[in-house]
A and B are shown apart, each in its own frame.
Chain A
Amino acid sequence: MSRRTGSVLPVHVALAAGAALVLVPIIWTVAAGFRTQISLLMGDVLFTPIGSNFAEVLWSKTSDFLLNYRNSIIVGIVSTVLCVVVATLAAFSLNRMRWPAWTVHLFLAWTMIFHMIPPVALASAWFTMARAVGLENTFTGLILAHATLNLPMAIWLMAVFVRDVPKELEEAAIMDGADTPHILWHVILPLITPGLAATSILTFIFSWNEFAVALTLTMKQTATVPVAIAKFAQDFEIQYTQMAASAALAMVPAILVLLVAQRYIVKGLTQGAVK
């Protein structure tokens, strides 16, 4: 009995510490959204919650936060759909089109290298390119940029999911008279739905959080949430509490998506690990 407690206790402590590490900053941020700037800067432990920061961020005439929110949702959804569609087709092609092995390896290696480049390094170049073709300050420009940024990760994930679909199923479909689009639609897609969901969620969240490229490619009308949050830090004043309130609001979609779809993420990301 004591032996069991003895071995379990450190595990629980470690888990609690891990949870605290993740949760405390979030709780602190949300709490800051309910405080006055003075209370926050004084470092009071106890405070009377106020709703004015949230009201200010959401409804004030000078705040564009709802517009930013809408922009983020549009950019997030469209870039995710684009990215996942391209990634799925690419993964199917890489796995099943009988490319020479070196082509596949070179391609995957390149996507990995691309993924390791900090987006900031690309931002100014993309700004120049976007301006050259008239895509600066447009959703299209930012959507293309986000889809491109997330493609490497999406391709890697989808490549694993597609690879795990048994080849015989595809051959059975060929014998049943299916063309490649049929095989993709009727056989591959239904079987990689969990992977598709996991990849979509991750892609959406990355797009939602992306800052450097969004800052460069957007202006007032097209700014996304992270850009808007950063705007609370100005030259002469940093509006900590409103910043915290908008940050808290920014977490909402991610939390909702995760609550709805977390089983897909776990299922998707562990699929094929044990077979």
Chain B
Amino acid sequence: MAEVQIREARKSYGSVEVLRGVDVDVRDGEFVALVGPSGCGKSTLLRMIAGLEGISGGEIRIGARVVNDIPPKQRDVAMVFQNYALYPHMTVAKNMGFSLKLAGKPKEEIDRRVAAAAEILDLSALLDRLPRQLSGGQRQRVAMGRAIVRDPRVFLFDEPLSNLDAKLRVQMRAEIKALHQRLGTTTVYVTHDQVEAMTMADKIVVMRAGVVEQVGSPLDLYDHPANMFVAGFIGSPAMNFIEGRVERGQFIAGCGLSVATGTIADTARTVLGIRPEHLTLDPAGTAATVVVVEQTGSETLLLLDMAGQKLTYLGRDRLHIRPGETVHILPDAARLHLFDPQSGRRMGDGPGTAARI
């Protein structure tokens, strides 16, 4: 096991800069998720840690060693690929034991370690099968098995669940999490799915366009997004953004919504962020027309139109509302976020940040 330190990491292909100075610290045994929209550089960063991509600038350390110029095989990291990349002509056992064979380990040791890994991943009955004879979930587990037999210092996962169907994804998510808790190996996990990141990671690194937007624990990012991008990216359904102004401790929007912001200086233009689950239906609130109603059984999602302002409401109550009807919406004044419309940055310490630890 080891910690991973990334300092000012840069990557460019010709004149195109993919990573523009990234700092990430992964503590020993920590599970860190790199999230961001496609093209944000998260996979490139992972491949730089793996050694599959060169480092154009900055420094990457694994343990005490700077690995910039160290080839992948000497970095002692294992990687799980998005499409599994199992060797199609080798059995499950051979796939898992290939790295040990290359390392010149004796056959008994390879067999023992493969058997142990297969035991952990519930693959013992499948060791003689070929990858094409396995289901997607089983292939995924073999890919993880190939990583864990080596007992590497760091696990790298590159969107490992994106080829699975929704149900299997949830199941494998729990399995990977359980595996991490059991082995305690430092893990860097790349995903574009913020739910995966929220549910699995100890720490999330949100990236966009080659820079880190924010680093923090899942709930930290949820409660205190540093900017509108993170606020909109983390949480599902996405946060509502409403343009307006602040006057004498009151946020006032064109759509008629008005809510107390606490001690914040007056501003002519600001953006209020409020999560769908922090809106309440209250007769004292502002009127809005229901456009779409989505019932999932456990939750009700309403798409609303508040004088031209689109809003999403999420509630646990089962509501008997039809599109076209009018509801009254009141934001939870303790869960507001205010952003600067120009920079997108979080403004002041609104009431939403009162819960900061």
| Chain B, residue nearest A176 (CB) | B99
Q: B-side binding surface: helix, strand, loop or mixed?
A: loop
Contact residues of A between 169 and 199, Cβ < 8 Å to B: 169, 171-179, 182, 186-187, 190-191
The reply to whether A186 and B85 form a contact with Cβ atoms under 8 Å apart is no
Q: Mark B90-104, 1 if CB is under 8 A from A, else 0.
A: 000000001100110
A25 near B: Cβ within 8 Å? Answer: no
A166 near B: Cβ within 8 Å? Answer: yes
The reply to whether B103 and A177 form a contact with Cβ atoms under 8 Å apart is yes
The reply to whether B81 and A178 form a contact with Cβ atoms under 8 Å apart is no
Shortest distance in angstroms between A179's beta carbon and chain B's nearest beta carbon? 8
Contact of A175 among B78, B86, B103 (CB under 8 A): B78
Chain B residues, Cβ within 8 Å of A44: none
The reply to whether A178 and B73 form a contact with Cβ atoms under 8 Å apart is yes
The reply to whether B146 and A176 form a contact with Cβ atoms under 8 Å apart is yes
| Chain B, residue nearest A190 (CB) | B89
Contact residues of A between 159 and 175, Cβ < 8 Å to B: 166, 168-169, 171-175
The reply to whether B50 and A175 form a contact with Cβ atoms under 8 Å apart is yes
* With A171-B52, A172-B79 as contacts: A177 and B99 at CB distance below 8 Å: yes
Chain B residues, Cβ within 8 Å of A179: 73
The reply to whether A176 and B102 form a contact with Cβ atoms under 8 Å apart is yes
**How far is B81's CA from A190's CA once the two chains are assembled, in angstroms?**
21
Chain A residues, Cβ within 8 Å of B86: 172
The reply to whether B73 and A174 form a contact with Cβ atoms under 8 Å apart is yes
Contact residues of B between 74 and 92, Cβ < 8 Å to A: 77-79, 81-83, 85-89
The reply to whether A191 and B89 form a contact with Cβ atoms under 8 Å apart is yes
B21 near A: Cβ within 8 Å? Answer: no
Chain A residues, Cβ within 8 Å of B103: 177
Chain B residues, Cβ within 8 Å of A175: 50, 52, 72-73, 77-79, 99
Contact of B81 among A168, A182, A186, A187 (CB under 8 A): A168
Question: How many residues of B sit at the interface, in one of the four size bands?
Answer: 20 to 34
Shortest distance in angstroms between A200's beta carbon and chain B's nearest beta carbon? 19
| Chain B, residue nearest A172 (CB) | B85
Shortest distance in angstroms between A77's beta carbon and chain B's nearest beta carbon? 26
* With A175-B78, A177-B73, A178-B73 as contacts: A166 and B102 at CB distance below 8 Å: no
Shortest distance in angstroms between A169's beta carbon and chain B's nearest beta carbon? 5
**How far is B87's CA from A169's CA once the two chains are assembled, in angstroms?**
7
The reply to whether B89 and A172 form a contact with Cβ atoms under 8 Å apart is no
The reply to whether A177 and B85 form a contact with Cβ atoms under 8 Å apart is no
Shortest distance in angstroms between B142's beta carbon and chain A's nearest beta carbon? 11
| Chain A, residue nearest B99 (CB) | A176
Contact of A178 among B51, B77, B83, B102 (CB under 8 A): B102
Residue among A172, A175, A182 with most chain B CB within 10 A: A175
Shortest distance in angstroms between A92's beta carbon and chain B's nearest beta carbon? 17
The reply to whether B83 and A166 form a contact with Cβ atoms under 8 Å apart is yes
Shortest distance in angstroms between B188's beta carbon and chain A's nearest beta carbon? 13
Chain A residues, Cβ within 8 Å of B83: 166, 168
Shortest distance in angstroms between B152's beta carbon and chain A's nearest beta carbon? 9
Chain B residues, Cβ within 8 Å of A169: 85, 87-88
Shortest distance in angstroms between A272's beta carbon and chain B's nearest beta carbon? 14
The reply to whether A182 and B102 form a contact with Cβ atoms under 8 Å apart is yes
Shortest distance in angstroms between B136's beta carbon and chain A's nearest beta carbon? 16
Contact of A174 among B52, B89, B146 (CB under 8 A): B52
| Chain A, residue nearest B152 (CB) | A175
| Chain A, residue nearest B81 (CB) | A168
Chain A residues, Cβ within 8 Å of B99: 175-177
Chain A residues, Cβ within 8 Å of B146: 172, 176
**How far is B71's CA from A179's CA once the two chains are assembled, in angstroms?**
10
Chain B residues, Cβ within 8 Å of A174: 51-52, 72-73
| Chain A, residue nearest B50 (CB) | A175
| Chain A, residue nearest B96 (CB) | A176
**How far is B97's CA from A186's CA once the two chains are assembled, in angstroms?**
13
Chain A residues, Cβ within 8 Å of B87: 169, 172-173, 186-187, 190
The reply to whether A172 and B102 form a contact with Cβ atoms under 8 Å apart is no
Contact residues of A between 9 and 52, Cβ < 8 Å to B: none
CB within 8 Å of A: which residues of B?
50-52, 72-73, 77-79, 81-83, 85-89, 98-99, 102-103, 146, 150
* A–B pairs, 8, beta carbons within 8 Å: A172-B86, A174-B73, A175-B77, A175-B99, A179-B73, A190-B87, A190-B89, A191-B88
List 9 other contacts, CB 8 Å, given A168-B85, A171-B85, A178-B98. Answer: A171-B79, A173-B87, A173-B98, A174-B51, A174-B52, A175-B50, A176-B146, A182-B102, A191-B89
Closest 10 CB pairs of A and B: A168-B85, A176-B99, A172-B85, A177-B73, A190-B89, A175-B79, A177-B102, A168-B81, A174-B72, A176-B98
